[in-house]
Amino acid sequence: MRKRSWLGLWLLLAASFLLSCLWGRYPLSLSDLWEILSGQAAGAMRETVFWNIRVARNCVAALCGAALSLAGFVYQGLFRNPLVSPDVLGVSGGASVGAICAILFFGGSMAASQAFSFAGGLLAVALSLLLARAIGGNRYFNLIISGIILGALANAAIMALKYMADPAQELAVIDYWLMGSFHLASWDKLRAIAPLILTAGAVLVLLRYRLKVLTLGDEEAASLGVAVGPVRLICVVCATVLTAASVSVSGIVSWVGLIVPHLVRTVLGDDFEANFFQSILCGAALLLLADTLARSLLPSEIPISILTSLIGAVCLAGFLIHRNRGERPC
């Protein structure tokens, strides 16, 4: 059973990737794909579509899906709450403020908005950690409350910046960014985020057992020999880097980080270490599929958060109804 579910997840990811490579406004067939891969003359247009548009975009989408889901999973473990999202410490709000500043004050060049949103996300989380320390008291509660405060501040800044923006041009760009999209994904973007995401992901993979013990609660984890403070800080930093890096290339992609770990736990069974890797695979596949739909459903591309929010809300309602009937598989 367990082997089969791993195989199923890998197949799901491979199938999503393949489907996503073929389907789109410029359809490719399996024989086109074979010609391209085997190096036969397939036509420059098809090769460009395949390598520089589809494959690059799919790699970015899959990597972001994996990163957001893993970040959500880690935060849910750290806060011992299955309904926490990667946003809990205000990373998306900070990243949005950064990206909007880049659009308004630096002409919205790709490199600038990427760098600014990444820095904005990290800054927001750093501030909410400092604020939590200043508040003191219960460590779960004060982190969540300071995340809410930072989120509110970021929201105020976003509204103020949108109010200042030129409605004809900049406002549309800002709104589009806030709804997320992979239409600007490229090999360059992949090169920019892959090292960050892979490094942060690798650290989390190494620390996954400490994180599991930490889900017993701070005091029990400490009594079992876990250095609670440092482990928690490293995990928060890594999860934040994962989120900020993916948001910096795609804009806000809502709900993936919340829903995927939940989906995995409910459908594949509660097992912390297995769920860790299942979230990564499942998140990559889900975002690939959502992105494929976003660029293929309508003649013009739909922002991806419209789809992920829709899927996420429906899934969450389904899980909660399912769970409260006491049918959770073990």
Partner 1 sequence: MLNVENLTVYRGGRLVLDGISFALRPGEVTAVLGLNGAGKTTLLKAILGFLPRQGGALTADGESLDRLSPADRAKQLAYVPQRYDGGFRYRAEDFVSMGATAYLGAFSRPGEGELRRAEALLRGLDCGHLIGRPMDQLSGGEQRMAYLARAMMQDAGCLLLDEPVSSLDLSRQHLFLHRLGRYVEERRAGCLAAVHAPELAYTYAPRIMILHQGRILLDLRRGEPGFEERLAQGLRAVYGPGLRAEFRDGLLALGWEYES
Binding site for partner 1 (CB under 8 A): 77, 80-82, 206-210, 212-213, 215-217, 219-220, 222-228, 270-273, 330
Alpha-carbon distance of 160 to 54, in angstroms, equals: 37
Task: Specify the residue, 52 or 81, whose C-beta has the smaller distance to partner 1.
Answer: 81
Cβ neighbours of 205 (radius 10 Å): 13
Shortest approach of partner 1 to residue 5 CB, angstroms?
Answer: 16
Q: Do 50 and 33 touch, CB atoms closer than 8 A?
A: yes
Alpha-carbon distance of 279 to 277, in angstroms, equals: 5
Shortest approach of partner 1 to residue 139 CB, angstroms?
Answer: 11
Supply the angle between the helices 2-22 and 30-37 in degrees, to the nearest 10. Answer: 90
Alpha-carbon distance of 224 to 244, in angstroms, equals: 32
Shortest approach of partner 1 to residue 79 CB, angstroms?
Answer: 8
Alpha-carbon distance of 23 to 28, in angstroms, equals: 7
Shortest approach of partner 1 to residue 204 CB, angstroms?
Answer: 11
- Cα 230 to Cα 16, 217, 227, 235, 240, distances in angstroms: 38, 15, 6, 9, 15
Task: Specify the residue, 76 or 113, whose C-beta has the smaller distance to partner 1.
Answer: 76
Shortest approach of partner 1 to residue 165 CB, angstroms?
Answer: 42
Greatest Cα pair distance, the chain, in angstroms, is 67
Task: Specify the residue, 183 or 208, whose C-beta has the smaller distance to partner 1.
Answer: 208
Shortest approach of partner 1 to residue 210 CB, angstroms?
Answer: 7
Task: Specify the residue, 76 or 248, whose C-beta has the smaller distance to partner 1.
Answer: 76
Token reading at 135: 């508040």
Task: Specify the residue, 166 or 220, whose C-beta has the smaller distance to partner 1.
Answer: 220
* Residues in Cβ contact with 201 at an 8 Å cutoff, skipping those fewer than 6 apart: 66, 67, 70, 238, 242, 280
Supply the angle between the helices 256-268 and 272-296 in degrees, to the nearest 10. Answer: 120
Task: Specify the residue, 188 or 220, whose C-beta has the smaller distance to partner 1.
Answer: 220
